[in-house]
Amino acid sequence: MISKFSSILLLVVFVASGFSLQSQTAEEIVSTYLETIGGEEALSGLKTMTIKADSKFQGMDIPIMMYQAAPNMQRMDMIFQGQEITQMCFDGEVGWSTNFMTQQAELWEQEDSDNMKHQMEFPDAFLNYEKKGYSIALDGEETIDGTECFKLKLTKSPLSIDGKEVENYTHYYFDKETMVPIMQEEYMHKGPMAGGSTQMYFSDYQEVDGIYFPYALSQKMNGQPMFDMVISEISVNPEIDEGLFATPDDVVKPTKPAESMDTDEKVIEPVSQPAEGKSGGDPGKGGQ
Protein backbone atom coordinates (compact mmCIF):
# COMPACT_ATOMS: atom_id res chain seq x y z
CA MET A 1 0.00 0.00 0.00
CA ILE A 2 1.31 3.45 -0.88
CA SER A 3 1.85 5.53 2.22
CA LYS A 4 0.24 8.93 2.69
CA PHE A 5 3.68 10.55 2.38
CA SER A 6 4.42 8.68 -0.88
CA SER A 7 1.08 9.76 -2.32
CA ILE A 8 1.84 13.38 -1.52
CA LEU A 9 5.33 13.03 -3.06
CA LEU A 10 3.92 11.54 -6.26
CA LEU A 11 1.40 14.37 -6.45
CA VAL A 12 4.17 16.96 -6.06
CA VAL A 13 6.23 15.33 -8.82
CA PHE A 14 3.19 15.17 -11.14
CA VAL A 15 2.26 18.80 -10.53
CA ALA A 16 5.86 19.95 -10.98
CA SER A 17 6.17 18.03 -14.25
CA GLY A 18 2.93 19.48 -15.54
CA PHE A 19 4.00 22.99 -14.52
CA SER A 20 7.27 22.55 -16.41
CA LEU A 21 5.42 21.68 -19.64
CA GLN A 22 2.80 24.39 -19.24
CA SER A 23 5.42 27.04 -18.46
CA GLN A 24 7.19 26.44 -21.79
CA THR A 25 6.63 29.60 -23.81
CA ALA A 26 6.81 30.35 -27.52
CA GLU A 27 9.72 32.70 -26.84
CA GLU A 28 11.65 29.97 -25.05
CA ILE A 29 11.05 27.50 -27.86
CA VAL A 30 12.31 29.93 -30.50
CA SER A 31 15.31 30.91 -28.41
CA THR A 32 16.26 27.25 -27.94
CA TYR A 33 15.74 26.57 -31.62
CA LEU A 34 18.01 29.39 -32.79
CA GLU A 35 20.71 28.37 -30.33
CA THR A 36 20.65 24.70 -31.27
CA ILE A 37 20.85 25.24 -35.02
CA GLY A 38 24.05 27.21 -34.60
CA GLY A 39 23.20 30.45 -32.83
CA GLU A 40 22.04 33.89 -33.91
CA GLU A 41 25.57 35.08 -34.65
CA ALA A 42 26.25 32.22 -37.06
CA LEU A 43 22.88 32.69 -38.76
CA SER A 44 23.43 36.43 -39.10
CA GLY A 45 26.73 35.69 -40.83
CA LEU A 46 24.98 33.57 -43.47
CA LYS A 47 24.87 35.81 -46.55
CA THR A 48 24.75 33.40 -49.49
CA MET A 49 24.04 29.72 -49.99
CA THR A 50 23.75 27.21 -52.83
CA ILE A 51 21.89 23.91 -52.68
CA LYS A 52 22.14 20.94 -55.02
CA ALA A 53 19.36 18.39 -54.75
CA ASP A 54 17.37 15.65 -56.45
CA SER A 55 13.59 15.57 -56.20
CA LYS A 56 10.91 13.05 -57.10
CA PHE A 57 7.58 14.29 -58.41
CA GLN A 58 4.88 11.98 -59.77
CA GLY A 59 7.47 9.30 -60.50
CA MET A 60 9.90 11.67 -62.23
CA ASP A 61 13.45 12.44 -61.06
CA ILE A 62 14.08 16.19 -61.22
CA PRO A 63 17.55 17.64 -60.45
CA ILE A 64 17.38 21.00 -58.67
CA MET A 65 19.86 23.82 -58.08
CA MET A 66 18.95 26.61 -55.68
CA TYR A 67 20.69 29.91 -54.98
CA GLN A 68 19.95 32.18 -52.02
CA ALA A 69 21.39 35.54 -51.01
CA ALA A 70 20.61 38.19 -48.42
CA PRO A 71 18.39 40.09 -48.36
CA ASN A 72 15.74 37.63 -49.55
CA MET A 73 16.94 36.79 -53.04
CA GLN A 74 16.32 33.30 -54.34
CA ARG A 75 16.49 31.35 -57.58
CA MET A 76 15.61 27.72 -58.24
CA ASP A 77 16.47 25.97 -61.51
CA MET A 78 15.46 22.44 -62.45
CA ILE A 79 15.95 19.96 -65.25
CA PHE A 80 12.48 18.90 -66.42
CA GLN A 81 12.10 16.52 -69.37
CA GLY A 82 15.55 17.45 -70.59
CA GLN A 83 14.91 21.20 -70.39
CA GLU A 84 16.48 23.60 -67.90
CA ILE A 85 13.68 25.61 -66.32
CA THR A 86 13.79 28.43 -63.80
CA GLN A 87 11.00 27.40 -61.46
CA MET A 88 11.26 30.71 -59.62
CA CYS A 89 13.57 33.70 -59.36
CA PHE A 90 13.14 36.65 -57.02
CA ASP A 91 15.54 39.57 -56.60
CA GLY A 92 13.89 40.99 -53.51
CA GLU A 93 11.52 43.18 -55.52
CA VAL A 94 10.47 41.41 -58.72
CA GLY A 95 9.85 37.75 -59.50
CA TRP A 96 9.73 35.70 -62.68
CA SER A 97 9.50 32.07 -63.79
CA THR A 98 9.86 30.00 -66.93
CA ASN A 99 6.52 29.32 -68.58
CA PHE A 100 6.36 25.52 -68.96
CA MET A 101 4.36 25.78 -72.20
CA THR A 102 6.29 28.50 -74.05
CA GLN A 103 9.69 28.10 -72.33
CA GLN A 104 9.67 31.90 -72.09
CA ALA A 105 10.77 33.91 -69.04
CA GLU A 106 7.56 35.36 -67.61
CA LEU A 107 7.03 38.06 -64.99
CA TRP A 108 4.89 37.42 -61.96
CA GLU A 109 1.86 39.55 -61.32
CA GLN A 110 2.81 42.63 -59.30
CA GLU A 111 0.70 41.45 -56.37
CA ASP A 112 2.60 38.15 -56.31
CA SER A 113 5.97 39.93 -56.23
CA ASP A 114 4.76 42.24 -53.47
CA ASN A 115 3.52 39.29 -51.43
CA MET A 116 6.79 37.43 -51.87
CA LYS A 117 8.52 40.21 -49.95
CA HIS A 118 6.56 39.01 -46.91
CA GLN A 119 7.22 35.32 -47.59
CA MET A 120 10.96 35.12 -48.24
CA GLU A 121 12.98 34.64 -45.06
CA PHE A 122 16.69 34.14 -45.57
CA PRO A 123 18.39 32.78 -43.61
CA ASP A 124 15.60 32.03 -41.09
CA ALA A 125 12.08 33.30 -40.42
CA PHE A 126 12.62 33.36 -36.65
CA LEU A 127 15.89 35.32 -36.73
CA ASN A 128 15.15 38.84 -35.38
CA TYR A 129 11.44 38.18 -35.83
CA GLU A 130 10.47 40.95 -33.39
CA LYS A 131 12.46 43.58 -35.30
CA LYS A 132 10.59 42.52 -38.44
CA GLY A 133 7.28 43.20 -36.70
CA TYR A 134 6.32 39.50 -36.53
CA SER A 135 4.64 37.81 -33.59
CA ILE A 136 4.72 34.25 -32.24
CA ALA A 137 2.22 32.30 -30.16
CA LEU A 138 1.95 28.80 -28.75
CA ASP A 139 -1.12 27.28 -30.42
CA GLY A 140 -1.35 24.07 -28.42
CA GLU A 141 0.13 20.62 -28.85
CA GLU A 142 -0.22 17.96 -31.55
CA THR A 143 1.27 14.61 -32.46
CA ILE A 144 2.95 14.53 -35.88
CA ASP A 145 3.62 11.00 -37.14
CA GLY A 146 4.10 9.71 -33.62
CA THR A 147 6.16 12.65 -32.39
CA GLU A 148 4.67 14.89 -29.71
CA CYS A 149 5.04 18.51 -30.77
CA PHE A 150 4.39 22.05 -29.66
CA LYS A 151 2.40 23.93 -32.32
CA LEU A 152 3.84 27.41 -32.82
CA LYS A 153 2.18 30.13 -34.90
CA LEU A 154 4.36 32.73 -36.62
CA THR A 155 2.39 35.71 -37.91
CA LYS A 156 4.04 37.98 -40.48
CA SER A 157 2.95 41.10 -42.34
CA PRO A 158 -0.43 40.71 -44.06
CA LEU A 159 -0.69 39.64 -47.70
CA SER A 160 -2.73 41.33 -50.42
CA ILE A 161 -4.98 38.89 -52.29
CA ASP A 162 -6.96 40.39 -55.15
CA GLY A 163 -6.58 43.74 -53.47
CA LYS A 164 -7.84 42.53 -50.09
CA GLU A 165 -5.65 42.21 -47.00
CA VAL A 166 -5.46 38.73 -45.47
CA GLU A 167 -3.69 37.35 -42.42
CA ASN A 168 -0.30 35.80 -43.17
CA TYR A 169 0.84 33.07 -40.80
CA THR A 170 2.61 29.70 -40.70
CA HIS A 171 2.37 26.90 -38.16
CA TYR A 172 5.58 25.18 -37.04
CA TYR A 173 5.53 21.87 -35.17
CA PHE A 174 8.41 21.60 -32.69
CA ASP A 175 9.48 18.22 -31.38
CA LYS A 176 9.02 18.43 -27.60
CA GLU A 177 12.32 16.64 -27.01
CA THR A 178 14.52 18.72 -29.31
CA MET A 179 12.47 21.95 -29.45
CA VAL A 180 13.03 22.23 -33.20
CA PRO A 181 10.44 22.04 -36.00
CA ILE A 182 9.92 18.76 -37.82
CA MET A 183 7.10 20.13 -39.96
CA GLN A 184 5.70 23.47 -41.08
CA GLU A 185 2.25 24.13 -42.47
CA GLU A 186 1.29 27.00 -44.76
CA TYR A 187 -2.01 28.00 -46.27
CA MET A 188 -2.92 28.76 -49.88
CA HIS A 189 -4.79 31.96 -50.61
CA LYS A 190 -5.16 32.01 -54.42
CA GLY A 191 -5.83 29.70 -57.30
CA PRO A 192 -7.87 26.49 -57.47
CA MET A 193 -6.33 25.23 -54.20
CA ALA A 194 -7.24 28.36 -52.21
CA GLY A 195 -8.20 27.46 -48.67
CA GLY A 196 -6.01 24.36 -48.69
CA SER A 197 -2.72 23.79 -46.92
CA THR A 198 0.76 22.49 -47.66
CA GLN A 199 2.89 20.58 -45.18
CA MET A 200 6.71 20.48 -45.43
CA TYR A 201 8.51 17.79 -43.41
CA PHE A 202 12.20 17.93 -42.46
CA SER A 203 14.65 15.13 -41.59
CA ASP A 204 18.27 13.91 -41.93
CA TYR A 205 19.85 17.00 -40.40
CA GLN A 206 23.52 17.58 -41.13
CA GLU A 207 26.02 20.23 -40.09
CA VAL A 208 27.58 22.63 -42.57
CA ASP A 209 30.07 25.13 -41.16
CA GLY A 210 28.48 25.05 -37.71
CA ILE A 211 24.85 25.34 -38.86
CA TYR A 212 22.41 22.44 -39.17
CA PHE A 213 20.26 21.94 -42.27
CA PRO A 214 17.74 19.22 -43.19
CA TYR A 215 18.97 17.15 -46.11
CA ALA A 216 15.68 15.33 -46.71
CA LEU A 217 12.39 17.11 -47.31
CA SER A 218 8.91 15.96 -48.20
CA GLN A 219 5.89 18.05 -49.13
CA LYS A 220 2.22 17.21 -48.91
CA MET A 221 -0.78 19.19 -50.08
CA ASN A 222 -3.89 18.82 -47.95
CA GLY A 223 -2.20 15.71 -46.53
CA GLN A 224 -1.54 14.11 -49.93
CA PRO A 225 2.12 13.42 -50.92
CA MET A 226 3.43 15.81 -53.59
CA PHE A 227 7.21 15.44 -53.82
CA ASP A 228 10.33 14.32 -51.98
CA MET A 229 13.69 16.05 -52.13
CA VAL A 230 17.13 14.86 -51.05
CA ILE A 231 19.90 17.43 -50.83
CA SER A 232 23.34 16.27 -51.93
CA GLU A 233 25.34 19.43 -51.28
CA ILE A 234 25.00 22.74 -49.43
CA SER A 235 27.62 25.48 -49.77
CA VAL A 236 27.63 28.26 -47.18
CA ASN A 237 28.69 31.80 -48.17
CA PRO A 238 29.94 31.01 -51.69
CA GLU A 239 30.44 33.87 -54.14
CA ILE A 240 27.23 34.46 -56.11
CA ASP A 241 26.93 37.11 -58.80
CA GLU A 242 23.79 39.13 -58.04
CA GLY A 243 23.17 39.21 -61.78
CA LEU A 244 21.96 35.65 -61.39
CA PHE A 245 18.79 37.03 -59.79
CA ALA A 246 18.22 39.70 -62.44
CA THR A 247 15.13 39.68 -64.66
CA PRO A 248 16.00 38.67 -68.26
CA ASP A 249 15.78 41.37 -70.94
CA ASP A 250 13.35 39.27 -72.97
CA VAL A 251 10.95 38.62 -70.08
CA VAL A 252 7.26 38.88 -70.97
CA LYS A 253 4.17 39.71 -68.96
CA PRO A 254 2.24 36.71 -67.62
CA THR A 255 -0.07 34.97 -70.05
CA LYS A 256 -2.16 33.39 -67.31
CA PRO A 257 -4.20 35.04 -64.56
CA ALA A 258 -2.73 35.77 -61.15
CA GLU A 259 -5.05 33.17 -59.59
CA SER A 260 -2.89 30.39 -61.04
CA MET A 261 0.33 31.96 -59.80
CA ASP A 262 -0.24 31.59 -56.08
CA THR A 263 2.74 32.90 -54.13
CA ASP A 264 2.55 29.78 -51.95
CA GLU A 265 3.32 27.58 -54.96
CA LYS A 266 6.41 29.49 -56.13
CA VAL A 267 8.92 28.74 -53.47
CA ILE A 268 10.17 25.67 -51.73
CA GLU A 269 11.60 26.94 -48.45
CA PRO A 270 13.60 24.07 -47.11
CA VAL A 271 16.86 25.24 -45.72
CA SER A 272 15.80 27.72 -43.09
CA GLN A 273 14.56 25.00 -40.72
CA PRO A 274 17.59 23.15 -39.31
CA ALA A 275 17.28 21.06 -36.20
CA GLU A 276 18.93 20.88 -32.83
CA GLY A 277 22.64 20.22 -33.04
CA LYS A 278 25.04 18.31 -30.84
CA SER A 279 28.66 18.06 -31.83
CA GLY A 280 29.40 14.96 -33.90
CA GLY A 281 25.90 13.68 -34.57
CA ASP A 282 22.49 14.06 -36.18
CA PRO A 283 20.71 16.68 -34.06
CA GLY A 284 17.09 15.87 -34.74
CA LYS A 285 14.78 12.94 -35.27
CA GLY A 286 12.98 14.49 -38.22
CA GLY A 287 9.94 12.74 -39.59
CA GLN A 288 7.34 12.64 -42.32
Output the CA–CA distances (angstroms, integers) from residue 8 to 2, 3, 38, 231, 287, in the order listed.
10, 9, 42, 53, 39
Q: What is the DSSP secondary structure assignment for residue 265, as one 8-state letter?
A: G
**Is 84 inside any structural domain?**
yes
Q: Is residue 7 part of a domain?
A: no
How far apart, in Å, are the Cα atoms of 96 and each of 92, 161, 239, 252, 265? 11, 18, 22, 9, 13
Residues 38-79 pLDDT 10s: 999 999 999 999 999 999 988 889 999 999 999 889 999 999
117-128 confidence digits (pLDDT tens): 878 889 999 999
Residue 1 lies in a domain: no
Asked whether residue 275 is domain-assigned, the answer is no
Calculate the alpha carbon distances from 35 to 104, 124, 136, 243 in Å.
43, 12, 17, 33
| pLDDT of amino acid 274 | 45
Query: What is the H or E stretch that residue 161 is in?
Result: strand 159-161
Establish if 9 belongs to a structural domain: no
Give the whole-angstrom CA distance, residue 98 versus residue 92. 18
Q: Look at residue 58 in the predicted model and tell me its pLDDT.
A: 83
| This prediction's pTM | 0.80
pLDDT digit string (tens) for the chain, length 288 residues: 444 434 433 333 333 344 344 458 999 999 999 999 999 999 999 999 999 999 998 888 999 999 999 988 999 999 988 889 999 999 999 999 999 888 899 999 999 999 998 788 899 999 999 999 999 999 999 999 999 999 999 999 999 999 999 999 999 999 999 888 999 999 888 878 788 899 999 998 899 999 999 999 999 998 899 999 999 999 999 999 999 999 999 999 876 544 434 444 444 444 444 433 333 334 554 444
Is residue 248 domain-resident? Answer: yes
Predicted pLDDT at 123: 92
Domain count, the chain: 1
- State residue 74's pLDDT score: 96
The pLDDT value recorded for residue 209 is 95
- Return the pLDDT at 191: 78
Look up the domain containing 108 and give its range: 26-265
Residue 23's pLDDT is what?
56
- Is residue 11 assigned to a domain? no
Asked if residue 108 is part of any domain, the answer here is yes
What CATH number has the domain bearing residue 205? 2.50.20.10
Rounded CA separation 95/78 (Å):
17
At residue 189, the pLDDT reads 85
Question: What does the pLDDT read at residue 267?
Answer: 42
> DSSP label at 92?
S
Phi, psi of 149 (to 5 degrees): -130, 150
Dihedral angle of Cα 134, 139, 141, 146, to the nearest 10 degrees: -50
